[in-house]
Structure 1
Amino acid sequence: MRSPLLSVLVVLALLSAAAPPRIHSLNQDGLFLYDMKLSLDDPDSTLSNWNTRHSTPCNWFGVTCDSLTNSTVTTLDLSSANLFGPFPSSSLCRLRNLTTLILFNNSINHTLPQDISLCTSLIHLDLSQNLLTGPLPESLSLLPNLRHLDLTGNNFSGSIPPSFGNFQKLQVISLVYNLLEGSIPPSLGNITTLKMLNLSYNPFSPARIPPELGNLTNLEVLWLTQCNLVGEIPESLGNLKSLVDLDLAFNNLYGSIPGSLTELTRLVQLELYNNSLSGELPKGMSNLTSLRLVDLSMNHLEGELSDELCSLPLESLNLYENRFVGDLPASIANSPNLYELRLFDNRFTGKLPENLGKNAPLRWIDLSTNQFSGDIPATLCDHGELEELLLIYNSFSGKLPASLGACTSLTRIRLGFNRFSGEVPAGLWGLPHVSLLELVNNSFSGSIASTIAGARNLSLLRLSKNGFQGPIPQEIGWLETLQEFSGGDNKFNGSLPQSFVNLGQLGTLDLHNNKLSGELPTEIKSWKKLNELNLGNNEIGGEIPKEIGSLSVLNFLDLSSNKFSGKVPLSLQNLKLNELNLSYNQLNGELPPMLAKDMYKASFIGNPGLCGDLKGLCDGRRGKDKSRSFVWLLRAMFIVATLVFVVGVVWFYFKYKSFKNARSIDKSKWTLMSFHKLGFGEDEILNCLDEDNVIGSGSSGKVYKVVLSNGEAVAVKKIWEGVNKKGMECGGDVENGRFQDNAFDAEVETLGKIRHKNIVKLWCCCTTRDCKLLVYEYMPNGSLGDLLHSSKGGLLDWPTRYKIAVDAAEGLSYLHHDCVPPIVHRDVKSNNILLDGEFGARVADFGVAKVVETTGKGTKSMSVIAGSCGYIAPEYAYTLRVNEKSDIYSFGVVILELVSGRRPVDPEFGEKDLVSWVCTTLDQKGVEHVVDSRLDSCFKEEICKVLNIGLMCTSPLPINRPAMRRVVKMLQELGTTTTTDISRTKSTQKDSKLPPCYYDDGSDHGSVA
């Protein structure tokens, strides 16, 4: 028999085993941090070692303690820990010795609370690249010891509080990439301890630079890029004697550059590009002996380039798109560290300094669109680092120096539209890293050397309008990356090399107006990406290969003025050609009937033996046996009658089936839930749900058009339960009908409570046990995707597309910024943007929408991907993390669709999607190959700016994507001003100059037209 004492011990042991872990062994700081852990969502278990096994938290991840006591927390660094939730001030501010707090690159959301002022020991506070919203807390300035404040890359809005001028010891303040409004407060000039002031990329109201900033005599970095600054640069900035970096780029500053800036003797970097500054450079530039980088491009500066500036030990000099005149000072060749020289689009004259490049490791040279003359210095690549040599649109002459043929570091060479002559150095043809070689509009002679076999990275070869001669070498067919070969208006002879059939990436082949002969290769099915084939005005003979008809993306075909014979291949009917010219050959026989169109009426003249129903060709039907025509007529009538009979039987069958299904619905069991005042009942809806009224089908059900008794129309989506459909194109919660249930619940929950002119209106829902109906407002013009990518896409001119982009952006901005809590759509695409009778846009289909939690444990990861191919943000695809940035990426893809007219995924792109295709095409071919050819070129400037907004939205880094509220503002500004230029942007890192993609107008300047 068990003793009472033993029983008591057993019970106590069991209770001890079942009790929760004790945390009372932790010291006070550990308890506060443990409480912080409980308030955050940690999907990656980064804080897994924050447990109760130790007496102090000093060995926890990201925690550093005082070196003397080894018990009190002094530093907390949780950078890139993927933590979600509101800022835990109630826990952190109890750590009395916490001096450094770094939560960089997490998902800390909601607002920054005012009680952060209780963290009185903080010296270093870094909350950059998070999701914080709302106004900046005025109480931040009450932190008596704060020296470093970094809130970069959040969504703070409102004005910078004037109280920020009360910081006592602050040295660094960075508010880059937020949504701050108002103007820069003059009170910031009171923080005399400040060494770095970074306020760039905020949508401030137009305002002048506060002269009070000249009081910051300890300031080393002043970064105010794209802050909507206007007026003149204040003379008081000359008082900033410690300044090392001055960046006022991308604003609306005007007037001359103040002479006081020449007193900033410690200045290393001066960036004033993209303003409206005028006048000459100030005297005294030679005082700036520390100056290394100068960027004054895209202004209205004029006069001669001073020898004072060129005699400085510069590393980078960018003065492009100004009005400078005169010669380039010879002293520029003496700068020992010069690696970047961009002076394009000015009025420079004279010769280049003969030693240019001898004393400096030149890497990028762009002197395009000037009036330079003379020879190219042979010393440009003496240091073996030259990558880009861009000299188009000048008056350079003479032969190319042989030293260029040995410059293996070159990647882009553009020497077109000059007066060069002689033969091209053999080594230049085969440079291994060159992707673009452009020699057009010169007087070059000789032939293409066989050394071109070594140019394995060559994509674009442009040789038109020269005196090149001889046969085209077989070695060109070895260049697997070649996308364009333009060699028209030369003297090439012989046959096209058989090796050309190996060029699987070729998009343009233009060799018109040469002396080519022989026959075309027949094995050209590998030219799957060929868009333009122009061999006009040569001596090529034989038959036109029927394989040309298999080149599905070909839209320009010119074989005119040759010696082609035989029939026009019937397969040419398969092509969708914008330009066809087979004139002045020796073709004969009957013209394929689909080519006998007025748009091709001049395409076949000069072929005496060719017959067809076009003016100028013989009448192919004249003289035919009339009885034979009568037989064909009888056959046609019989076929038509048979088809009518079959279609009638099929129609009757489905009509009868729909009638039976409609009769089987028990209308008494339907439940109607309305979200607006209705003028109809469920009976009126149910009576019209037959196949004749189906207008579409989506991932979760069919959509019907129902015309009500009052003459108005509504759209009805029927969702059947228990049916396993395919779900979303690239994901979705699809399992035994669960997708349909979730889709219905999400749409009702979302659309039932929101009201916005650019969100589709949900009138009501009807439910029964087996079926659910959603009743929406009817949109006569259907979805943007269906309209844009159909034959009716031409109806969407640029003003209409621009309006659609603004409307859709406003709808998404409402979801992200005005709904409490915010809503993430998760399936933004052109097919989910509907158009009313006036082409006004509504965001629709909220079947996978999710509420973004702003309390508790923050944004959560999804179990599966929801979205559509080509629209899914990169980070969402591998983290399943849901936030507004994924919607912004998808909307950026929609913008690229509107600009290019192309689908988000297309066989033409290969393994790429639309975003990758646009980036590659911009870089290699220029913007004209991206913009939809159906759009009027008079809108080019605005189209390019909208394109750049799309590229910003599709940045691979979520932090670089603008918030939807900012996207709306940028789009709206395009309608009222043409001065906003967003093509060039800095990332959150100060040394980054360009986003991942930028508009290349063909002159390699990286600037928007």
Structure 2
Amino acid sequence: MQVKTSVLLLLTILCFLSYISFALNQEGLYLQRMKLSLSDPSGFLSGWSDRDPDPCNWTGVTCNGQGSVVSVILTGASLSGSFPISLCRLPSLSKLSLSNNDINSSLPLSISSCRNLAYLDLSQNLLAGPLPSTLSDLHFLRYLNLEGNSFSGEIPATFGLFRQLESLTLTENLLDRTIPAVLGNITSLKKLALAYNPFSQGELPPELGNLTNLEYMWLADCNIVGSIPDSFGGLRRLKNLDLSNNGLTGRIPSVLSQLKSIVQVELYNNSFTGTLALSWSNLTNLRRFDASMNSLIGPIPEELCELPLESLNLFENKLEGLIPESIAKSPNLYDLKLFRNELTGSLPRELGKNSALQTLDVSYSNLSGEVPEFLCHNGALEEIVLINNAFSGKIPTNLGECRSLRRVRLGANRFYGEIPPLFWGLPHVYLLDLYENSFSGNISHLIYGAKNLSTLNISNNKFSGGIPNEIGSLDSLVEFLAHDNELGGEIPSPIVNMKQLGRLDLSNNDLSGGIPKGIQSMKQLNELNLANNRLSGHIPDELGNLMVLNYLDLSKNNFSGEIPLSLQNLKLNELNLSSNLLSGDIPPLFANGVYKDSFLGNPGLCVHNSGLCNPRQGKTSRVFSWILRSIFIIAGLVFLVGLVWFLLKYKKLEKIKNGSTITKWTSFHKLGFSEFEISYCLKEANVIGRGASGKVYKVILSNGETVAVKKLHERPNNNENDSNSFGSDKHEFEVEVETLGKIRHKNIVRLWCCCITGSCKLLVYEYMPNGSLGDLLHSNKKRLLDWPIRFKIALDAAEGLSYLHHDCVPPIVHRDVKSNNILLDEDFGAKISDFGVAKVVKAANRGVESMSVIAGSCGYIAPEYAYTLRVNEKSDIYSFGIVILELITGKSPIDPEFGEKDLATWVCTKLDQHGIGQVVDPELDSRFNEHICRVLDIGLLCTSSLPINRPSMRRVVNMMQELSATMPCEQEKDGKIFPSF
């Protein structure tokens, strides 16, 4: 009996323990069911197994004191599949995050069964379809984030039934109805973010003014029109208001002055008009105010400038009057942009004294007075842009000690006096623009310190003295413009060391001596203008070796001797040797009507084999000469007619094969080859690349020069809505010709010429021996690209894009930035190419332009561009960020390893899970890892899903230039330390 009792008690205990075990593991079964329903390529859920029956120990799972699951956090786990509705059977689940995965299909209505959820984050997935109307049944929900999916349709009216919701984020989806008024019923809301959705055009619902607890409202790019409702004055707790990139009109309402908690106001790129007549004194917390690119008029309010602002952007308006002195008292001001207004008066005298000012741009206004002496008082000033005003006086001496400066534009003003010597040698300045002033004095020898200088424009001033020899040490200089000054002495011989120089204009000075020897080493020289000086001696035969020279003007000098025959190699578009002392025969190629004005004022010149060089020649001799010339001309015509007939008779088959004869030929540089030589070299054996629009050929010309020829096939139609169209208003050919034909930059590929045949169109470029970055990086030649070279490529490409975005007028958006469109020369210098879908950003569009179809390449297209079709420079910046990630990882943007992710998402996931070691290309030397990590940060910043968070290309260049100084050195060679590049 006692034994039976003991056995019975033991069975009871076992059953109880079994019951407890079953109760604890039931939630594990639900989680296991979820695991089985999803694809887990990275093995993130591998620890969810029967070996550990307690789910509280599983990755991403948190339990309460009773052992019940309350939280499942699986962010960036590379999971894919439908939403795991089995999670809703967890009775205590209050927090669920599946963000940054590949959860797809639609979000089921049955999600309302997750009744205890207070936190739901499904952002950055592939969810599509309508937003479930049942989400409002989650009565405890406080946080809802569905950003970065593909939800479409309307925001359900049931969303107005939320009672505890504090944060609603629906940015970057495909919601296409109007913003519903029912959102004003969610009075518990603290954050409302609906930006970057293609909403139907509509006004701001006045009901949103009922959100009295709201702190953050982000409605950028939501197709909003009309005015800001007066009811918004009730948003007393609002800290951040962003209504940028919409169609709002009317005055900026006075209700904003009631928002006493406001910190940041973004109203740029709307159509606001009228004055800024608000009671700004109430907004004591305001730090950033941006109402640029509107039509505001009147003065800048004194009250606004008295606030402790960090950033004030009011550019591209119609503001007038004075800039208040009070703006200089702000202790936090680092960014002041007021350009393209109608402002008058002077800059505040103490501007920069009380804050670390970084950017000042007041260009294209009517400002006058002197440059304030305190602009760089705190050593942070990077950009000063004052062009096209009426500033006067001298440049403050202390600006010469401002080593943080990078971009200086003081042109088209009334400055005078000498430039501070140290100002010439600022080490980080890449653009120094002093044109059209009254500056005097010498160019300082200290200019050798300006190692980063790319453009130096001192034209139309009163500079005197000689050009210092130190100018030759500026390896990065692309443009040197010093025309219309009083410079004297000889052109310094070290100037030929500037291998990147593309444009040299020293015309209208008082220079003497000859053209320096060794000028043939300036292989990139495209324009040489030395007109109206006192230069003498012979024109060097070496000029004929500058194969990219397009413009040559040596007029109004004292050059003597014969014209070198080698100049015939150049086929210059512009040649002017007039008003010199030249003698001898004019080279035969130039003895025609095209160059009839190129040799005027040289009495000693003769036309080769004609009677035109000796005015005392007798009448009989002239008649005899004319008869001989006529005979030769007739004989030549007979020969040519016979040759044409022969070609038409026997070359008909080859003509059909290669396309019709060339009907139009346009050159942008002086060329050493003919159109016919190009067309006959387009053979299949010479193909070096293929693309959607045609083939690229390598052509070695008879003069030994190599060029690349892109052959664009004619499209059946040029309808922009056609899937085969280029997605622009013009054919790719016309766009590329218009864009590249006028660009001159060391990091933009040169377009030599273009021609049209009957069946195709040809674009002739400079040949880049190392091909495209994409081909090299993703082939067995990748080992040639060590980290210093990859970093140099990234920096070169960034400078090229920065030129397009910031220094072209008007700016240009490339729209197809990718590794295959970055070409590499023999030294792995990078140049941006392929402008077939580039877009000129018109001022009327305020930096944003809508396309009717998507242009770009898969893997590089910015997320907002894919669904809004609105293009600006931020789209290029995203694509450039992908290129940086390519250089670091060695992987293509589209790779089976990523699953349905893109490269940026894959990198973020790997960093979160495994660290930098799983991201960096194993081919790269590990001693560069710290430097690579810092460049990776820039790449991730550029690929931010929110365009507003991406830096400008100018800022990217600045960051990368700062990193170039931190590149580790290679090991010692012969007792010396050498940098890696």
Residues 283 and 929 of structure 1: is their aligned pair in 2 closer, same or farther, counting only changes over 3 Å?
closer
Aligned mate of 2:135, from 127, 137, 140:
140
Instruction: Give secondary structure in 1 for the equivalent of 2:202.
Output: coil
Q: In structure 2, what is the Cα distance between the partners aligned to 1:943 and 1:874?
A: 38
Preserved CA contact (<8 Å) 1:809 1:968: no
In the alignment, which residue of structure 2 is the partner of 1:545?
Answer: 540
**TM-score, normalised by the number of residues in structure 2:** 0.68
Q: 1:28-81 CA distances to partner (integer Å, 9 max, x unpaired)?
A: 4444444444444444444444444322344444x13115255636122322x4
In the alignment, which residue of structure 1 is the partner of 2:52?
Answer: 54
Aligned mate of 1:74, from 60, 71, 82:
71
Q: In structure 2, what is the Cα distance between the partners aligned to 1:287 and 1:463?
A: 47
Q: 1:615-661 CA distances to partner (integer Å, 9 max, x unpaired)?
A: 9985999949959997997999699989969996xx89xx9xxxxxx
Residues 248 and 920 of structure 1: is their aligned pair in 2 closer, same or farther, counting only changes over 3 Å?
closer
Equivalent positions of 1:117-128 (< 5 A) are 117-128=112-123
Preserved CA contact (<8 Å) 1:176 1:198: yes
Instruction: Give secondary structure in 2 for the equivalent of 1:117.
Output: helix
Determine if the alignment matches structure 1 residue 510 to structure 2 residue 508: no
In the alignment, which residue of structure 1 is the partner of 2:428?
Answer: 433
Q: In structure 2, what is the Cα distance between the partners aligned to 1:142 and 1:875?
A: 52
In the alignment, which residue of structure 2 is the partner of 1:227?
Answer: 222
Residues 185 and 946 of structure 1: is their aligned pair in 2 closer, same or farther, counting only changes over 3 Å?
closer
In the alignment, which residue of structure 2 is the partner of 1:831?
Answer: none
Preserved CA contact (<8 Å) 2:463 2:486: yes
In the alignment, which residue of structure 1 is the partner of 2:868?
Answer: 966
In the alignment, which residue of structure 2 is the partner of 1:886?
Answer: none
Amino acid at match of 1:992: N
In the alignment, which residue of structure 1 is the partner of 2:388?
Answer: 393
Equivalent positions of 1:510-589 (< 5 A) are 510-575=505-570, 577-589=572-584
In the alignment, which residue of structure 1 is the partner of 2:83?
Answer: 88
Determine if the alignment matches structure 1 residue 150 to structure 2 residue 130: no
Determine if the alignment matches structure 1 residue 919 to structure 2 residue 801: yes
In the alignment, which residue of structure 2 is the partner of 1:818?
Answer: none
Amino acid at match of 1:238: G
Amino acid at match of 2:949: S
Q: Could you say what the CA RMSD is over the residues aligned between the two structures, in angstroms?
A: 5.1
Preserved CA contact (<8 Å) 2:611 2:625: no
Amino acid at match of 1:207: G
- The 10-residue stretch of structure 1 (498-507 or 915-924) with the greater mean CA deviation from structure 2: 915-924
Q: CA deviation at 1:187?
A: 0.6
Q: Which runs of 5+ in 2 are unaligned?
A: 1-21, 616-621, 660-683, 698-707, 730-755, 762-769, 781-790, 814-833, 874-941, 958-981
Q: In structure 1, what is the Cα distance between the partners aligned to 2:612 and 2:585?
A: 10
Q: In structure 2, what is the Cα distance between the partners aligned to 1:160 and 1:41?
A: 30
Q: In structure 2, what is the Cα distance between the partners aligned to 1:933 and 1:596?
A: 37
Q: In structure 2, what is the Cα distance between the partners aligned to 1:358 and 1:606?
A: 58
Preserved CA contact (<8 Å) 2:585 2:607: yes
Amino acid at match of 2:101: N
Q: In structure 1, what is the Cα distance between the partners aligned to 2:198 and 2:122?
A: 20
Equivalent positions of 1:203-602 (< 5 A) are 203-575=198-570, 577-596=572-591, 598-602=593-597
**TM-score, normalised by the number of residues in structure 1:** 0.66
Q: CA deviation at 1:295?
A: 1.0
- The 10-residue stretch of structure 1 (95-104 or 289-298) with the greater mean CA deviation from structure 2: 95-104
Q: CA deviation at 1:349?
A: 1.9
Q: 1:248-272 CA distances to partner (integer Å, 9 max, x unpaired)?
A: 1111111112212111110011111
Q: In structure 2, what is the Cα distance between the partners aligned to 1:75 and 1:374?
A: 64
Q: CA deviation at 1:456?
A: 1.4
Preserved CA contact (<8 Å) 1:101 1:125: yes
Preserved CA contact (<8 Å) 1:955 1:996: no
Determine if the alignment matches structure 1 residue 65 to structure 2 residue 62: yes
Preserved CA contact (<8 Å) 1:598 1:614: no
Instruction: Give secondary structure in 2 for the equivalent of 1:540.
Output: strand
Instruction: Give secondary structure in 2 for the equivalent of 1:134.
Output: strand
Residues 412 and 997 of structure 1: is their aligned pair in 2 closer, same or farther, counting only changes over 3 Å?
closer
Q: In structure 2, what is the Cα distance between the partners aligned to 1:260 and 1:56?
A: 57
Residue-pair matches, total: 763
Q: 1:207-235 CA distances to partner (integer Å, 9 max, x unpaired)?
A: 11100000000000111112111111111
Q: In structure 1, what is the Cα distance between the partners aligned to 2:536 and 2:835?
A: 33
Preserved CA contact (<8 Å) 1:293 1:316: yes
Instruction: Give secondary structure in 1 for the equivalent of 2:103.
Output: strand
Residues 502 and 915 of structure 1: is their aligned pair in 2 closer, same or farther, counting only changes over 3 Å?
closer
Instruction: Give secondary structure in 2 for the equivalent of 1:104.
Output: coil
Residues 917 and 270 of structure 1: is their aligned pair in 2 closer, same or farther, counting only changes over 3 Å?
closer
Preserved CA contact (<8 Å) 1:953 1:962: no
Equivalent positions of 1:786-805 (< 5 A) are none
Q: 1:956-1004 CA distances to partner (integer Å, 9 max, x unpaired)?
A: 9958333545338999xxxxxxxxxxxxx9954596275547999xxxx
Q: In structure 1, what is the Cα distance between the partners aligned to 2:103 and 2:851?
A: 26
Instruction: Give secondary structure in 2 for the equivalent of 1:379.
Output: coil
Q: In structure 2, what is the Cα distance between the partners aligned to 1:997 and 1:806?
A: 34
Higher relative contact order (CA 8 A, sep 6+): 1
Residues 98 and 514 of structure 1: is their aligned pair in 2 closer, same or farther, counting only changes over 3 Å?
farther
- The 10-residue stretch of structure 1 (324-333 or 434-443) with the greater mean CA deviation from structure 2: 324-333
Q: CA deviation at 1:874?
A: 13
Determine if the alignment matches structure 1 residue 161 to structure 2 residue 156: yes
Q: In structure 1, what is the Cα distance between the partners aligned to 2:534 and 2:273?
A: 56
Instruction: Give secondary structure in 2 for the equivalent of 1:432.
Output: coil
Q: In structure 1, what is the Cα distance between the partners aligned to 2:314 and 2:85?
A: 52
Q: Which runs of 5+ in 1 are unaligned?
A: 1-23, 656-690, 697-723, 732-759, 761-781, 812-834, 841-867, 879-908, 972-984, 1001-1009
Residues 492 and 417 of structure 1: is their aligned pair in 2 closer, same or farther, counting only changes over 3 Å?
same
Instruction: Give secondary structure in 2 for the equivalent of 1:565.
Output: strand
Q: In structure 1, what is the Cα distance between the partners aligned to 2:52 and 2:777?
A: 36
Instruction: Determine what percentage of the aligned residue pairs are the same residue.
Output: 46
Preserved CA contact (<8 Å) 1:952 1:995: no
Residues 921 and 627 of structure 1: is their aligned pair in 2 closer, same or farther, counting only changes over 3 Å?
closer
Q: In structure 2, what is the Cα distance between the partners aligned to 1:507 and 1:871?
A: 24
Aligned mate of 1:184, from 179, 182, 202:
179
Residues 626 and 303 of structure 1: is their aligned pair in 2 closer, same or farther, counting only changes over 3 Å?
closer
Aligned mate of 2:949, from 992, 1003, 1006:
992
Q: In structure 1, what is the Cα distance between the partners aligned to 2:558 and 2:803?
A: 35
Preserved CA contact (<8 Å) 1:915 1:954: no
Residues 546 and 484 of structure 1: is their aligned pair in 2 closer, same or farther, counting only changes over 3 Å?
same
Preserved CA contact (<8 Å) 2:472 2:496: yes
Residues 925 and 299 of structure 1: is their aligned pair in 2 closer, same or farther, counting only changes over 3 Å?
closer
Residues 969 and 491 of structure 1: is their aligned pair in 2 closer, same or farther, counting only changes over 3 Å?
closer
Preserved CA contact (<8 Å) 2:863 2:945: no
In the alignment, which residue of structure 1 is the partner of 2:13?
Answer: none
Q: In structure 2, what is the Cα distance between the partners aligned to 1:471 and 1:50?
A: 78
Instruction: Give secondary structure in 1 for the equivalent of 2:802.
Output: helix
In the alignment, which residue of structure 1 is the partner of 2:6?
Answer: none
Residues 420 and 596 of structure 1: is their aligned pair in 2 closer, same or farther, counting only changes over 3 Å?
same
Determine if the alignment matches structure 1 residue 102 to structure 2 residue 97: yes
Preserved CA contact (<8 Å) 1:108 1:131: yes
Instruction: Give secondary structure in 2 for the equivalent of 1:517.
Output: strand
Q: CA deviation at 1:463?
A: 0.6
Determine if the alignment matches structure 1 residue 199 to structure 2 residue 194: yes
Q: In structure 2, what is the Cα distance between the partners aligned to 1:614 and 1:58?
A: 100
Preserved CA contact (<8 Å) 1:601 1:615: no
Instruction: Give secondary structure in 1 for the equivalent of 2:373.
Output: coil
Q: CA deviation at 1:594?
A: 4.2
In the alignment, which residue of structure 1 is the partner of 2:905?
Answer: none
Q: In structure 2, what is the Cα distance between the partners aligned to 1:106 and 1:170?
A: 24
Q: CA deviation at 1:375?
A: 1.6
Instruction: Give secondary structure in 1 for the equivalent of 2:423.
Output: helix
